[in-house]
A and B are shown apart, each in its own frame.
Chain A
Amino acid sequence: MATWEVAIAVCDETEVHRKKEGDIIAFKPAPWNWGRKEIDQYLIVTVEGITQSEMVQLCRPLYEGGDEDETVIENSNLNIIGKRKHKLPLDTLANGWMPTLDLERVRDKKVQYQPLKESGITINATEEVAIFQNKFTGKYKYKDFKVFGDGGEGK
């Protein structure tokens, strides 16, 4: 298990296949010094208790057909219908991890606002906390990344 910093999309693009709020766009090993534009455009969240392979899964696109095995996807050349298959809902972050999180400021790309990183808050993915939502099934992943739940509950 390792600790990662993830870049989360903070607003919806109009087109259905482009990024949506909460999409997990990129991950880097923590601590990470992000670029100037990244700090403006994304919410940076630190997550621990998750492997690189699991981070890879969280950053995959959402394909037509949803939960198809990746080998099937490449062989059949399925269309991408969503920028990411998983998201980290901002309201879950606010409810479960940082009640003072100002979502309006998070969504405003003109404001440099990284409250979780600056407060040193690290989300522990091994706790029974619903944070990563599969957009195809609607279900959340938590606890060793292997258990699926129906919850949207916070911490």
Chain B
Amino acid sequence: MATCRRTATNENISTYGNATRGYTSLSTWESATDNDLVTATQSEVLECYDDEDSFDDHVYLSGATSNSDYFRIIRPAIDQGNDGTPNSGFNIANTADFNVFSLGEDYAQVQDISVKSTITSSVAHRSGFYVSGDSNSLIGCIVYDSYHAVAELNMQGFLLNNASNTIVVDCASINMQSVSGTGFGFSFQASTSMLMYNCISVNNKTFGYRSYNTTIIAKNCCASGNGTDWEVQGSGGFTKTTCTAEGANPTYKDAAGNDFHLASTDTVCRDNGTDLSGDATFPFDDDIDGELWGPAWSIGFDQFSADDGIWTANPWADNPWE
């Protein structure tokens, strides 16, 4: 079986956190590892430590020469990631006028990081994750309670723009808003071969999922409480497999407390998904908490269990993709 938290070949691991780590800025690591990874036959990984309540930071990955074997990953160190709820584990709370994570190169990955962004001065729309390179992966990431305070500009959890062959798995966008009354959970535009598996988009002001001139393969994805859950603009749209319908109302563990694990009483999502462990493009078998899906898969990012919110697996151990 395969965890969705893929590893790279020949990883050179650096650390991020407080001053006891190698780096305290995502950008200094990015600049230091902006290399020809293919020629060097070296992948660069930044493992993040939950040394502070949150980190006010952002990064633009661009320029590294990469391929499907040698690329860059940002992920929490073991046991430092989110537990499937916002503001848990290693957590970014950005206040600068940037997209928090911009992936402008190819094959990069961000895994299991919670992000909140508050923009007070800007000339552009802003996102938790902005992807403009190809073949990138976002796994187990949460964007939550983010706000754009500049009129006529928008806050978006995930914006994938000219980002073909991108894979988004076990991710969540929760409560994107702006002073103008807009907020998108996941927005896809001008891209091809986009995969979105087992994601959840909740309480975003305008759209849960938005397609703009792009076709997205969506499997086991959940939307609820958004202005419009599924929005198609221009050509393309969503090719859905066992996703929730417009206006669905799943029962969550503690929605008021921003905990969108499934409640034991839920009948909308629980056990109603499709088994993707044998998916032809991206087979995997673990949820936002690192728990194994099954025997019946659910819709959304969570396989219900009594241990929800507790990291139960070490996804990097015995990784068949390594």
Q: Which residues of A contact B (CB under 8 A)?
A: 7, 9, 13, 15, 17-19, 23, 25-26, 28, 32-38, 41-42, 52-53, 55-56, 59, 61, 69-71, 74, 77, 80, 83
Known: A34-B19, A52-B96, A53-B97. A28 touches B63 (CB 8 A): no
List chain B residues, Cβ under 8 A from A83.
31, 34, 62-63
List chain B residues, Cβ under 8 A from A35.
15-17, 19-25, 28
Known: A25-B28, A52-B96, A83-B63. A36 touches B21 (CB 8 A): yes
> Told that A35-B16, A83-B34 touch, could you supply 4 new A-B pairs with CB distance under 8 A?
A34-B25, A74-B161, A83-B31, A83-B62
CB distance from A65 to the nearest CB of B (A): 15
**Cα-based distance from A146 to B27 in the complex (angstroms):** 25
A7 x B25 contact (CB < 8 A): yes
CB distance from B118 to the nearest CB of A (A): 12
Judged by DSSP, the binding face of B is loop
Cβ-neighbour of A33 out of B14, B24, B63 (below 8 A): B24
26 A-B pairs in the complex with CB atoms less than 8 angstroms apart:
A18-B35, A18-B63, A19-B34, A26-B31, A33-B24, A35-B17, A35-B20, A36-B21, A37-B14, A37-B22, A37-B29, A38-B28, A41-B28, A41-B32, A52-B121, A53-B97, A53-B121, A55-B96, A56-B98, A59-B27, A71-B123, A71-B125, A74-B132, A77-B132, A77-B162, A80-B62
List chain A residues, Cβ under 8 A from B18.
33
**Cα-based distance from A25 to B23 in the complex (angstroms):** 13
Q: Which residue on A lies nearest to B23, using beta carbons? A: A35
Interface residues of B in 161-215 (CB under 8 A from A): 161-162, 190
The reply to whether the CB of B157 lies closer than 8 angstroms to some CB of chain A is no
> How would residues 54 to 70 of chain B score, 1 for a CB under 8 Å from any chain A CB and 0 otherwise?
00000010110000000
**Cα-based distance from A61 to B22 in the complex (angstroms):** 24
> How would residues 77 to 107 of chain B score, 1 for a CB under 8 Å from any chain A CB and 0 otherwise?
0000000000000000001111000001000
List chain A residues, Cβ under 8 A from B161.
74, 77
**Cα-based distance from A38 to B17 in the complex (angstroms):** 12
List chain A residues, Cβ under 8 A from B34.
13, 18-19, 83
Q: Which residue on B lies nearest to A13, using beta carbons? A: B34
B27 x A26 contact (CB < 8 A): yes
B97 x A56 contact (CB < 8 A): yes
The reply to whether the CB of B151 lies closer than 8 angstroms to some CB of chain A is no
> How would residues 29 to 63 of chain B score, 1 for a CB under 8 Å from any chain A CB and 0 otherwise?
10110111000000000000000000000001011
CB distance from B139 to the nearest CB of A (A): 24
B32 x A37 contact (CB < 8 A): yes
The bracket for how many chain B residues form the interface is 35 or more
A74 x B97 contact (CB < 8 A): no
List chain A residues, Cβ under 8 A from B296.
none
A26 x B97 contact (CB < 8 A): no
**Cα-based distance from A35 to B28 in the complex (angstroms):** 10
**Cα-based distance from A34 to B23 in the complex (angstroms):** 7
A56 x B22 contact (CB < 8 A): no
CB distance from A117 to the nearest CB of B (A): 13
B162 x A33 contact (CB < 8 A): no
List chain A residues, Cβ under 8 A from B124.
70-71, 74
**Cα-based distance from A100 to B62 in the complex (angstroms):** 35
Q: Which residue on B lies nearest to A53, using beta carbons? A: B121
Cβ-neighbour of A38 out of B24, B60, B121, B125 (below 8 A): B24
Interface residues of B in 118-172 (CB under 8 A from A): 121, 123-125, 132, 161-162
List chain A residues, Cβ under 8 A from B24.
28, 32-35, 38
List chain B residues, Cβ under 8 A from A7.
25, 27-28
